[in-house]
Amino acid sequence: MGRTKKGDPVDGVMLLDKPLGMSSNGAVQKVRRLLNAQKAGHTGTLDPMATGLLPLCFGNATKFSADLLDADKGYTARVKLGVTTTTGDVEGEVLETRDVSGVTLEAVERAARSFLGEIEQIPPMYSALKKDGRCLYELARRGETVEREPRRVVIREITVSDFDGESFTMSTLVSKGTYIRVLAEDIGRALGTGAHLTALRRTRVGHLTLDKAVTVETLEALGTPEAVRVKLTPSDALLSTLEPVRLEAEAAKRFLFGQCLPLGLALRGRVRVYDDAGMLLGTALVDERGVLAPERLIAH
């Protein structure tokens, strides 16, 4: 006899404003308990020292979490010049300090703009990337440093504000896999002063934005799983950049059986698919002949 699943079959996306000090997995488990949900996952980790938008997926929404893993991310960071640390942020040990008295706002802006576009980043040792099966941060904590391959990332937007002579706020929109800590360090290196992050807040994941997010405290205050579930966003919030296709009853049934449908659609590429009642059935690919081929399906 199979094990009984704990919790209820809850579907949807919770846009969480993750607090400082909480791990992404800790956030998933916390909200999962508040929802009393069976199946849960997140859409890419956010460091414990970072706050901000962490979309959490429950039930059928977990099928589409990869769509946000590949999405652009928006961040606001506070960067301190003149100090480098072992981790590239405020949690590390100080490696070096330098004078920043001659640095101007114009110089900071110029240095930041020089990283716009496609660049190469060397991942930090204090990261969850693995080398020979071991997380780099585990090696770093033992004082080891290993060679890391540069990664190509894209800095789509970067602006500088609130410069006080030694610290500034940096707002960015970046491609997946970009390390904001490394970007801050690289700007400090370009200025000849060094730099590290003192705060990091994620403001955007794909088309999802922080202004729609809720805090753990808000969810806890609601008191019951049923009340918390009201705060969920429908699963198709993860797919809103895809064009919708609606199927009549018979076609919807065939689609859920995994059959390709020669519908002669004018659309091409990935689409989201609904039945005639507006219920999400999954995602599909439309080929050059207009044939709808199931990709990820939701069990109903």
Q: Give per-residue pLDDT as tens, 182-193.
A: 999 999 999 999
More confidently predicted of 35 and 47 = 35
Q: Give per-residue pLDDT as tens, 148-200.
A: 778 899 999 999 999 999 999 999 999 988 999 999 999 999 999 999 999 99
pLDDT for residue 149: 79
Name the residue ranges covered by the structural domains of the chain.
12-70+209-235, 73-205, 242-297
Residues annotated as catalytic (active site), given as ranges: 47
* CATH code, 242-297: 2.30.130.10
Mean pLDDT of the 33-40 span:
92
Same CATH fold, 242-297 and 12-70+209-235?
A: no
CB 146 within 8 A of CB 132: no
pLDDT of 140 higher than 70: no
Q: Domain 73-205: give its CATH architecture.
A: 2-Layer Sandwich (3.30)
Q: How many CA atoms lie within 13 A of 100 on its CB side?
A: 25
Q: Give per-residue pLDDT as tens, 218-265.
A: 999 998 999 999 999 998 888 888 999 999 999 999 999 999 999 999
Mean pLDDT over each residue of the chain, to the nearest integer: 90
Structure tokens, 153: 């990332």
Domain 12-70+209-235 belongs in CATH node 3.30.2350.10: yes
Phi, psi of 254 (to 5 degrees): -65, -40
Going by C-alpha positions, the residue among 254, 213, 206, 281 that lies closest to residue 52 is 213
